[in-house]
Structure 1
Amino acid sequence: MPVHGHITDAVKAPDLVRLAPHTVLARFETLKVYAALGAVRTLLERGTIAPGQTVIDSSSGIYALALAMACHRYGLRCHIVASTTVDATLRTQLEVLGATVDQMPPSDDLRLDQERRVRRVRDLLVERPGLHWMRQYHDAVHYTGYREFADLVAAALPGRELTVVGAIGTGASTAGLVLPLRQRGVAVRLIGLQPFGSVTFGSDRFQDPEAIIAGIGSAIPFGNVRHELYDTVHWVDFRHATAGAVGLLRDHAVFAGLSTGAAYLAASWEAARHPEQTFLVIGPDTGHRYSEQAFARHREFPDHRTLKPHQITDLADLVPPWSVMEWRRRRHDHPVPPSPAARQESPK
């Protein structure tokens, strides 16, 4: 067993857990350590940022911690514009690591929360020109760290057609994993998870009043999402995602977040239909921040094995609480935010 020089090396790699004969969970403490380390290292190598400089970004949770840890490792300062969903435990971790934190006021509207965060980042860039905006939502530099994850997957799961099931979120983790695998000739099918209310794959006309599935969807377009990489998309509401997470804990003693629960739910249904494939379920974080709002209510949720999605062929037919559509690697055009330079030049 290696002795690591920094904690980020210890936590970045997943534990691979077999859930079924042909289904494996990649269980992370915090998946986005790969993204933050890869991005920071690459930007330092390019000379885009320098040791001692302050980097800034917006986050709903696990990227904030990952970025603060990467800055700790490489001697950078870190400023986080945090979602209202960031809890006291995480905020304390960030502050002890040396990060400064701007947290948005309480809000039941996650779209408003996200818009407030982006607006605050823009204001700070004007006030403090020396800041470097990491732009986890739009800068493809966040793909780079996941190549190491792709190497692990290729070595651990050779030989069969592979299906990756993961939350779409910023788009970086699924793209960063699947692109290197496909480039080396691995036949990879990609299934993405979305919540209702996200603009990323056209469910923004819906509202999920209980939704706290951080990191799975978006209220604004993300430049890092490459729609043409996805073969299938599942839209899952809070109750179904929680049923999946509770089922994963009951079935396999794995305590993971709600995006993992949604992925487990979708993968279980898909694996029954495609027994010839190996399924890799991405579990980006633990379940601790969902303890009170989701897991404490575990008796309220149905057995995930009794649930089935509504199968659709057109976004016009999308309906809660769970829909699935063969996306077939199509584009999905929507306005992509302009570059930071263009933003600073445009009138406010």
Structure 2
Amino acid sequence: MHAHIAEAVKKPDLISLAPDLACLRFETMKVYSALGAVRHLLESGTVRPGDTLVDSSSGIYAQALALACHRYGMKCHIVGSTTVDRSTRVQLEILGATLEQVAPSRDLRLDQETRVRRVAEILAAHPSYHWMRQYHDDIHYHGYREVADELDAELPAGPLTLVGGVGSGASTGALATYLRAAGRDVSLVGVQPFGSVTFGSEHVADPDMIIAGIGSAIAFGNVRHELYDRVHWVNFDSAVSGAVALLRTSGIFAGLSAGAAHLAARWERLRDTSRTAVFIAADTGHRYVDSAYARHRQAADIDTLKPHEITSLDALRHPWSTTSWPPAGR
């Protein structure tokens, strides 16, 4: 029996899509990150029960931190993007977390900078608050050790290709780190949207990009670039096609980052048939129904899609590009 809903909801499902292809499907992945971080802060004495934890979020982390604070008797304040949907807003309110959303912006960089600037203002006014720094503090790696142990135990012996959205770097980076420490041969493949500075695609815009959680318009301190072996940049339309195909063929209803990771994992599986490919579905598809899934009739057949193999970031182009990391031409 679980002591708290957060302990139950964090558990992922490992689903076989083919003998050498699996999906690690979460209801909300960052609960692992938030629970592990808050627990570590309490055990180290950095914070105490009743303290207020603050951070910015585009949606998933907000719910995760609110649940972690509820679990450990903390207060929670979120500076949210406009992408925080009504369902999440209502849950945060009932859980006792406070949310303030920044002004709407079509510019991801402006949105992220505005949120971080607002957090700084809050900390200046309330010095006792603790900033979780989900984008910069590697304390968020801790929670994923348990997931890595479960993957190591459940997956067939042999080399793995792990594919997932990069975002803050904590999920993919931590899983690869712990699996490698356990002796696994792991090729780590990061998925990015165009326009993200993390792996140098800021010069290629994607106006329809709404998967902000896997990219960054500002530098993230948590991303350890040396951990990654390959990177895929996937645009909005291709991510929608990947997500629709995933639902149609497997019944897995997941977010756009999962659609992008699905495409990348299928491609990496073709590149190296000696490895088992596992891709991460970080959240469910509910908040993407109107913006993405409603377009399912226009989704491309993913068997017709393939990436541009590039050797220089100058060659990045829509709808999908990939390269070894770092690129040979860098």
Compute the TM-score of the two structures, normalised by the length of structure 1: 0.93
Code of the residue aligned with 2:53 in structure 1: it is V
Q: 1:295 aligns with which of 288, 293, 296?
A: 293
Cα distance per residue 1:105-129 (max 9 Å; x no partner) = 2221122111110010000010111
Aligned-pair CA distance for 1:328: 5.1
* Aligned partner of residue 298 in structure 1, secondary structure: helix
Name the structure 1 match of 2:303: 305
**Whole-Å Cα distance in 1 between the matches of residues 42 and 303 of structure 2?**
47
Return 5+ residue gaps in structure 1 as ranges.
Answer: 333-348
CA contact (8 A) 2:311 2:327 kept: no
| Aligned positions of 1:333-344 closer than 5 A | none
Q: 2:168 aligns with which of 157, 167, 170?
A: 170
- Does 2:249 match 1:255? no
CA contact (8 A) 1:229 1:329 kept: no
- Does 2:203 match 1:193? no
Name the structure 1 match of 2:47: 49
Q: 2:90 aligns with which of 89, 92, 102?
A: 92
Code of the residue aligned with 2:298 in structure 1: it is E
CA contact (8 A) 2:108 2:212 kept: no
Name the structure 1 match of 2:325: 327
**Whole-Å Cα distance in 1 between the matches of residues 223 and 270 of structure 2?**
28
Q: 2:232 aligns with which of 231, 234, 238?
A: 234
Cα distance per residue 1:270-291 (max 9 Å; x no partner) = 1122111101111100000000
Code of the residue aligned with 2:168 in structure 1: it is T
**Whole-Å Cα distance in 2 between the matches of residues 256 and 169 of structure 1?**
16
Cα distance per residue 1:290-313 (max 9 Å; x no partner) = 000100011112111110100001
CA contact (8 A) 1:28 1:285 kept: yes
Q: 1:275 aligns with which of 240, 249, 273?
A: 273
* Aligned partner of residue 213 in structure 2, secondary structure: coil
Aligned-pair CA distance for 1:265: 0.7
Aligned-pair CA distance for 1:184: 1.8
Code of the residue aligned with 1:187 in structure 2: it is D
Name the structure 2 match of 1:6: 4
Aligned-pair CA distance for 1:39: 0.2
**Whole-Å Cα distance in 1 between the matches of residues 141 and 83 of structure 2?**
25
Name the structure 2 match of 1:203: 201
Code of the residue aligned with 2:252 in structure 1: it is V
Name the structure 1 match of 2:66: 68
| Aligned positions of 1:21-170 closer than 5 A | 21-170=19-168
**1:329–1:44 CA distance, 2 compared to 1 (3 A):** farther
Cα distance per residue 1:80-108 (max 9 Å; x no partner) = 00001111111111111000011012221
Name the structure 1 match of 2:282: 284
Q: CA RMSD in A?
A: 1.2
CA contact (8 A) 2:312 2:327 kept: no
The runs of at least 4 consecutive aligned structure 1 residues that moved more than 3 Å come to none
Code of the residue aligned with 2:136 in structure 1: it is H
**Whole-Å Cα distance in 2 between the matches of residues 73 and 211 of structure 1?**
34
CA contact (8 A) 1:213 1:259 kept: yes
CA contact (8 A) 1:231 1:329 kept: no
**Whole-Å Cα distance in 2 between the matches of residues 318 and 329 of structure 1?**
11
CA contact (8 A) 2:80 2:102 kept: yes
**Whole-Å Cα distance in 1 between the matches of residues 88 and 160 of structure 2?**
34
**Whole-Å Cα distance in 1 between the matches of residues 285 and 225 of structure 2?**
28
Return 5+ residue gaps in structure 2 as ranges.
Answer: none
- Does 2:217 match 1:219? yes
**Whole-Å Cα distance in 2 between the matches of residues 327 and 214 of structure 1?**
22
Code of the residue aligned with 1:206 in structure 2: it is V
CA contact (8 A) 1:22 1:277 kept: yes
* Aligned partner of residue 177 in structure 1, secondary structure: helix
* Aligned partner of residue 4 in structure 1, secondary structure: coil
* Aligned partner of residue 145 in structure 1, secondary structure: helix
Code of the residue aligned with 2:110 in structure 1: it is L
Q: How many residues are treated as equivalent by the alignment?
A: 329
Name the structure 1 match of 2:15: 17
